Amino acid sequence: MKKSLLAAVSLSVVTGVAHADVTLYGLIDIGVANVSHGQNIDGSAPAPLPYVVNPKSTNKSVTSITSNGLSQSFLGFKGSEAISPDLTSGFQLEAGFEPGSGNIADGVQGLQTGTSNTTTGNDSSRAGQLFNQRSLVYLASKSAGTLSLGRQYTLSLDYIGRNDPLQGSQAFSPLGYYGSYGGGGFTEDARLDNALKYNGKFSNIRVDALYQFGGIAGNSSSNSGWQAGLGTDMGSLSVDAVYSLKHDGLSVSPNNPGLKGTIADIRDYGVFAKYVMGPATLSGGVMRYEYSAPSDGGVGYNTIGGYTLVSKNITAAAGKKLDLAFGGLRYAITPNFDLTGAYYSVEQNDFSGTGCSNNSKSSCSGSYEAYSLVADYKLSNRTDVYAGVGESNVSGGVSNGFVATSNTTTMVGLRHRF
């Protein structure tokens, strides 16, 4: 049904039946990868192979055609109308997909239909919705900024994408593979439904805000969230800061059968920076995530993509804290050839109450680190080829339940924008 609807929308745009100023656009990213500690490929997951180490990594390697190494493949539609010299209205719809299979991107499907050890699928904000990336309408004023309503990216995801040296690559950046860092701690919240978002720029100052309506009868704060962001551009240097609070954040995992959920209220805050020096661009950031039991007892959680939970836990993440730090260098060797190196680190506190630092419990202190090197060559303004290698490792409580605690991904790919 979702594929039929998407095909109908695409046909109407191509034949000119839809809005006169509608543009069809998108991106396809596909290649060949080898994963040292792999899993069966999942033709619906946003990342079809486990590019970075995770609980599904096994002691077996896998080599396959795969996709979405540097960027998520997607099909988009956008349109705008000038209302006055200062005011424009418009819309944006985006559907992420897996080009190797042609399926709509749905990370949760692999959790629902398999077990934790049979498919690559992971929890994701792309959970099989028709327009699983963005679905919004906006009013944009040249003088006052842009106000948008609908399903849209969080400010954290915007800022991470802007300052990650690898721009959210799923094969080489854990910030791209694990959408949780852009979702305030849980990946399902990296893109928020029913959200009101503001972006404004005044001289060299950027002001951003977002509010998600919870939609829960009798409790306006349940399942809601808000963010505030501030940034500045000073010549070659740009700096951003963000603060967020999400009520009833949700993370899902296999229940065998079905799905189980962990629900928490999460605060996160961070600072990011980028500095350009001729052909070199330095960028990075730091973030803190703090989890607590939901203030409403978890009654306001809402699953996405139409999936339901068999069970839920409102205390599993209470007291958890994560400290993220990342940085790297992108160097333009020629106008068409870039080389990027990046490093990522996450430190988790002990929130078990026992002071443990081993992997006996997921609540023991632990760490995650990754580093990558990627070469990207532009064949044209729309097409590039890339090759890269990424290494990731986990230890302590972060590695609880892991069969393998390290993973190496090597991938070559082709990316085309249209």
Give the C-alpha distances (Å, rounded to integers) separating 330 from 118, 131, 415: 36, 32, 18
Give the C-alpha distances (Å, rounded to integers) separating 266 from 105, 182, 296: 26, 12, 13
Two tokens, residue 179:
């959408």
CATH number of the domain within which 119 lies: 2.40.160.10
- What is the pLDDT, as a whole number, of residue 111? 79
Name the phi and psi angles at 308, rounded to 5.
-120, 160
Q: Domain containing 318: what range?
A: 35-417
If pLDDT is split at 50, 70 and 90, which confidence band does 18 have?
very low
Q: Residue 302 above 80 pLDDT?
A: no
Q: Which residues pair with 191 in a beta bridge?
A: 153
Does 131 map to a domain? yes
Q: What is the DSSP letter of 315?
A: S
If pLDDT is split at 50, 70 and 90, which confidence band does 115 have?
very low
* Dihedral angle sign, alpha carbons of residues 3, 155, 388, 344: negative
- What is the pLDDT, as a whole number, of residue 116? 45
Contact status, residue 282 vs residue 329, Cβ threshold 8 Å: yes
Does 43 map to a domain? yes
Q: Which residues pair with 353 in a beta bridge?
A: none
Render the burial of 390-409: b for 16+ CB within 10 Å, e for the rest: bbbbbbbbbbbebebbebbb
- What is the pLDDT, as a whole number, of residue 20? 54
Does 249 map to a domain? yes
Contact status, residue 404 vs residue 391, Cβ threshold 8 Å: no
Q: Residue 2 above 70 pLDDT?
A: no
* Prediction pTM value: 0.92
- What is the pLDDT, as a whole number, of residue 269? 98
pLDDT (mean) for 345-366? 97
Q: What is the DSSP letter of 58?
A: -
Which among 227, 244, 247, 243 is positioned nearest to 302, based on CA atoms? 247
The DSSP result for 216-256, as a single string, is: -TT-TTTT-EEEEEEEEEETTEEEEEEEEEEEEEEEEEE-S
* pLDDT higher at 348 or 6: 348
If pLDDT is split at 50, 70 and 90, which confidence band does 253 have?
confident
- What is the pLDDT, as a whole number, of residue 119? 54
Distance (Å, whole) CA 44 – CA 247: 28
Contact status, residue 154 vs residue 276, Cβ threshold 8 Å: no
Q: Residue 11 above 70 pLDDT?
A: no
- What is the pLDDT, as a whole number, of residue 14? 46
Lowest mean pLDDT among 1-10, 144-153, 283-292, 367-376: 1-10
Does 27 map to a domain? no
Residue type, 172: F
Parallel, antiparallel, or unpaired for β 134-141 and 23-35? unpaired
Does 22 map to a domain? no
**Tokens 């069809």 correspond to what residue?**
24
Question: pLDDT tens digits for 132-191?
Answer: 999 999 999 999 999 999 999 999 999 999 999 999 999 999 999 998 999 988 999 999
Does 79 map to a domain? yes
Does 18 map to a domain? no
Mean pLDDT of the residues in the chain? 92
- What is the pLDDT, as a whole number, of residue 17? 45
Q: To the nearest whole percent, how much of the chain has pLDDT over 70?
A: 93
**Structural domain total, the chain:** 1
Two tokens, residue 355:
């002071």
How many CB atoms lie under 10 A from the CB of residue 306?
9
In residues, how long is the chain?
418
Does 5 map to a domain? no
